[in-house]
Structure 1
Amino acid sequence: MQALVLDGINQSVQLREVPTPQPAPGQVQVQLHAAALNHRDVWIQKGQYAGLKFPIILGSDGAGTVTMLGEGVDASLQDQQVLINPGSHWGNQPAAQGRDFQILGLPQDGTFAEYICVDASQVRAKPAHLSFEQAATLPLGGLTAYRATFTRAQLQAGERILISGVGGGVALLALQMAVAVGADVWVTSGSEEKIAKAVALGAKGGISYKAEKWPATLTKQAGGGFDVIVDSAAGPGFNDLIDAAVPGGRIVFYGATHGDIPELAARKVFWKQLSLLGSTMGTAQDFAAMVSFVEHYRIMPAIDETFALAEGEAALRRMDEGLQFGKIVLKIKYLGSGA
């Protein structure tokens, strides 16, 4: 089969002929029709991720058709159109992942390929209203957004929610999910264009996080502070989120793209009785609930740009630029000589 292979730090991915994986007992082989990028792929390419190994096939998100079953797998999965849960071996505690938790694309080869083998428990039927390209945008981003917004922050209809750094896949899916349940959604971004696009998706409004004293301006516009804040940046600007939260509010963050928080405004946190919640990926139950949520509300994920598999390096550079609004997708056509 053909796959995009990364041979080392700061190297370009190369389209290469590699052995087609065969399913072990309990696994399914999936012919991938689409895969989506995450910042994780760029960080691995730059060597900014733990547990690096090379060569590796990147990619955590994928959707396709089950083409082969390993021993002991339910025959009904044969030929089913599926999307893949990128997380495996979560462990027995729903509250947090265990030591054996893994994400597709490192250390296990990922979805930037024509075929992949995963445990049968990791596939779910593709929502019928979505194309393969749309479905491929959901796994990592959708799971992360769902767990952060609902499992961890417990967002309710009618609450006011702020989503920071809108434009990325997780933030946009959190926006669409929050709008679907009837929350009032506001956003921040460094781009007025992205704020306008977020409003077109149902946000009430937004503000640039570069603006001076933006929490006071935004809370005035929104008619008050925010019950829930969903963030991926952390860093020095985190204290602005504390200012924007209502007393008793919940701030959930699933990333730290701006680094650690240098000086947390601890007095404001305890005086306002805020809950600070960390969140990473999600359980198999979260994944199933996310897929059901997308089906029920007919969520249509936003796609920024679609590339052919052979254009994978260009897609990674698009991700690295940080200009995207929505997910970057690889459309995978069958190129190789078969299983």
Structure 2
Amino acid sequence: MQAVTITEHGDTDVIDYGDHPDPEIGRTDVLVDVKAAALNHLDIWTRRGMPGLDLEMPHIPGSDGAGIVEEVGEDVTRFEAGDRVALSAGCGDLRMDDPTLDPHYYIIGEHVPGIHAEYAAIPEENLIPVPDHVDWTVAGSSCLVFQTAWRMLIERADLEAGEKVLVLGASGGVGHAALQIADHAGAEVYATGSTEEKLEYAKEHGADHVCNYEEENFAEWVQAETDGRGVDVVVEHVGEPTWQDSIASLTKGGRLVTCGGTAGGAPETDIPRIFWNQLEIIGSTMATPDQVDDVMELVWDGTFEPAIREELPMSESARAHEIIENREGFGKVVVRPDSEL
């Protein structure tokens, strides 16, 4: 088969697309004929390398994708050949109430080979059914960001209708999902973006107030917009450049929920502001299977929709990485096996 591979950690020149051994399925695995997949910032971090990430090279990336079941292992009970499926990439002990808290939790595409290939062998517990009416582009690009944003807002931050929510980078992957989820939950939504086009997108998808962070400090903007009160929840996924202003945007008793640090993971923090204002700093990773089912039903029925900035053949995956790294446009970058184009 043809597959995207990372030959070593580094810049985009370590990305290759070419012949790779066909995957072998185990007793509980499903062989998926991949129709569409998508990139996330996670793919950038995996390519660059992170502390503690020890991969067998060459490594196939990709934590988002969808396709048709080609073959199933002998113990598979939920799927059969011909079924339409999408990947839910988090792997934890399903005997736990919350598998994301499994000390050995890992993510397909980050810690083990992913789905950016013509075929992928996926454990059946990491696949969800895709209705016939759903386009492959939607199916292959939605699960990671929408499950992440759903858990952040609905489960971890316990968002309530009428609360004020600030979504940073509202046109990015997690950002555009959080924007729609916050609006659906009945929150008053404040959003940031770097261009007028991105801000217009935010307004069309649920933002009540928008701020161009390239032109003004968003914390000062939030305080002005809320008459000095601040917001109840900040959706934070940028890290070092925004951390202090994210904390400064919160009202007393507010909650900052974070799923990552795409621009730096070791920010300075304002401890006096945190304890004096009794703020909560909440971490969030992926979602439980039940939470995935809940949010993906709303994707499948069209309540939520992924923004797609570009579709490319997998042979142009290096260019796909560049689009995300350079913050070109907004939404997800979809890649398809060259044989599908």
Question: Scaled by the length of structure 2, what TM-score is found?
Answer: 0.90
Asked if structure 1 preserves the Cα contact closer than 8 Å seen for 2:78 and 2:124, the reply is no
Partner of 2:65: 62
Matched, 1:30 2:35: no
Aligned counterparts of 2:107 and 2:181: Cα–Cα separation in 1: 23
| Cα RMSD (Å) | 2.2
Asked if structure 2 preserves the Cα contact closer than 8 Å seen for 1:53 and 1:106, the reply is no
SS at match of 2:191: strand
Q: 2:269 aligns with which of 264, 267, 280?
A: 264
Aligned counterparts of 1:217 and 1:316: Cα–Cα separation in 2: 32
Which structure 2 residues correspond to residues 75-154 of structure 1 after superposition, within 5 A? 76-90=79-93, 92=96, 94=98, 96-154=100-158
- The Cα shift of 1:127 comes to 4.4
- The Cα shift of 1:32 comes to 0.7
Aligned counterparts of 1:259 and 1:220: Cα–Cα separation in 2: 27
Partner of 1:53: 56
Matched, 1:180 2:184: yes
Deviations 1:183-220 (A, max 9, x none): 22111123333122211222112213345543232333
Question: Scaled by the length of structure 1, what TM-score is found?
Answer: 0.91
- The Cα shift of 1:157 comes to 2.1
For structure 1, list consecutive stretches of 5 or more residues without a partner in the other structure.
Answer: none
Matched, 1:208 2:212: yes
Q: 2:337 aligns with which of 332, 335, 338?
A: 332
Deviations 1:30-58 (A, max 9, x none): 11100000112222222346223310111
Change (3 A) 1:76 1:61: closer
Which structure 2 residues correspond to residues 34-45 of structure 1 after superposition, within 5 A? 34-45=36-47
SS at match of 2:203: helix
Which structure 2 residues correspond to residues 182-331 of structure 1 after superposition, within 5 A? 182-222=186-226, 224-260=229-265, 262-295=267-300, 298-331=303-336
Aligned counterparts of 1:75 and 1:289: Cα–Cα separation in 2: 18
Deviations 1:154-176 (A, max 9, x none): 11222211101222111111111
SS at match of 2:7: coil
Aligned counterparts of 1:155 and 1:179: Cα–Cα separation in 2: 11
Aligned counterparts of 1:258 and 1:151: Cα–Cα separation in 2: 25
Matched, 1:74 2:77: yes
Change (3 A) 1:139 1:80: same
Change (3 A) 1:106 1:53: farther
Change (3 A) 1:131 1:277: same
Aligned counterparts of 2:253 and 2:300: Cα–Cα separation in 1: 32
- The Cα shift of 1:262 comes to 4.2
Partner of 1:162: 166
SS at match of 2:14: coil
SS at match of 2:169: coil
Asked if structure 2 preserves the Cα contact closer than 8 Å seen for 1:238 and 1:261, the reply is no
Paired positions, count: 335
Give the partner amino acid of 2:335. L
Poorly superposed stretches of 4+, deviation over 6 Å:
none
Change (3 A) 1:157 1:128: farther
SS at match of 2:210: strand
Asked if structure 1 preserves the Cα contact closer than 8 Å seen for 2:39 and 2:63, the reply is yes
Aligned counterparts of 1:126 and 1:101: Cα–Cα separation in 2: 25
SS at match of 1:301: coil
For structure 2, list consecutive stretches of 5 or more residues without a partner in the other structure.
Answer: none
Partner of 1:17: 19
Q: Relative to structure 2, which stretch is displaced further, 312-321 or 289-298?
A: 289-298
Change (3 A) 1:107 1:258: closer
Aligned counterparts of 1:274 and 1:261: Cα–Cα separation in 2: 19
Give the partner amino acid of 1:282. A
